[in-house]
Amino acid sequence: MTSLLVYGSAQGKTPEELGDRIEENLQNGIGHTRLGLGYLGDENTRSPLHKPEGAPAYGLYFDPSQKMAEALEMLRYLRGRFGNRVELMIDVHEKLAPTDAVKFAAALESFGMFFIEDILPVEHLDWMKRVRQVCATPMAIGELFNHPREWQQLVINREIDYIRCHISQLGGLTPAKKLAVCCEAFGVRTAWHGPGDLTPIGMAAQLHLDLTSPNFAIQEFANYSEDMRKVFPGCPELKDGYLYANDRPGLGVDFDEEAARAFPYQEPVKDMFQFRLPDGTPIRS
């Protein structure tokens, strides 16, 4: 096997616009789409926020109650439009209080989600057993994990269904392979973290790990621009919803330093890393 099933993301300012992006994914052979809590890419709530005087002007404001309501509205529309033609995931990004997470998981049960991602932050993982009590939807978690103690009990107690750590954050391929083998023994499958800022070299490393893991499930993937392909010759290729490895030596991806000089890093600090509650209180991004 040289190819992997992947999922993509979709964003939009309205349920209809979001549905159009999912339609584009389907036309490209991608039948699995991840959404955000609300509308991915438009994290400011669509309803007016009641903010106090002096609340900072910068940052993305996030009202948990409104975002949960908007997410349910979004899913009702998408299931009405697509039925079961698409597999949907939703990423909570650890932004809910534990009691809200339990309530939200229960509300999502009727939508037949492929999985719910990062419903709890690392410091509140003891609440996962309560989530399991109200919700049979598969759970995916792990992109913020660093140490085996963070995932060990979740796997052993079968409180999650997909492990999706960031490979370099774990320490590289060797600890990630050990984690995959451990998870296999407990029926937990892999869905490694593959965000848009992961280099093609990092993605190729994950691809090779996926190809050697019997409990591989699905790979998060954001496709590459032509500029990215110039800088990283040998990028994994996406074809009709599957990601393909090449037959070059090693990971199969090179880095062209001369080509990279044309693209100096200039990205400023993003609002998406400065989330706030309606009163201006900073929360995790």
Alpha-carbon Rg for the chain in angstroms: 19
Q: Which pLDDT value is given to residue 42?
A: 42
In-domain check, residue 156? yes
Q: What is the mean pLDDT of the chain?
A: 91
Domain count, the chain: 1
Q: Which pLDDT value is given to residue 41?
A: 43
In-domain check, residue 55? no
Beta bridge partners of 139: 116
In-domain check, residue 272? no
Enclosing domain of residue 91: 3-47+62-263
In-domain check, residue 12? yes
pTM value is 0.93
In-domain check, residue 269? no
pLDDT tier at 58 (50, 70, 90 boundaries)? confident
Bridge-based pairing state of the strands 162-163 and 189-190 = parallel
State yes or no: pLDDT of 108 exceeds 50.
Answer: yes
State yes or no: pLDDT of 271 exceeds 80.
Answer: no
Beta bridge partners of 140: 117, 162
State yes or no: pLDDT of 114 exceeds 60.
Answer: yes
Mean pLDDT of 80-103: 95
How many whole angstroms separate alpha carbon 35 and alpha carbon 94? 14
Percentage with pLDDT > 70 across the chain: 94
Q: What are the tens digits of pLDDT across the range 164-192?
A: 999 999 999 999 999 999 999 999 999 99
In-domain check, residue 92? yes
Mean pLDDT of 78-94: 95
| Token pair 């300012």: residue | 13
pLDDT tier at 40 (50, 70, 90 boundaries)? very low
How many whole angstroms separate alpha carbon 285 and alpha carbon 275? 6
pLDDT tier at 47 (50, 70, 90 boundaries)? low
Q: Which pLDDT value is given to residue 3?
A: 82
How many whole angstroms separate alpha carbon 1 and alpha carbon 254? 22
In-domain check, residue 273? no
CATH number for the domain that contains residue 22: 3.20.20.120
In-domain check, residue 54? no
Sign of CA dihedral 126, 131, 132, 136: negative
Cβ pair 164, 145 in contact under 8 A:
no
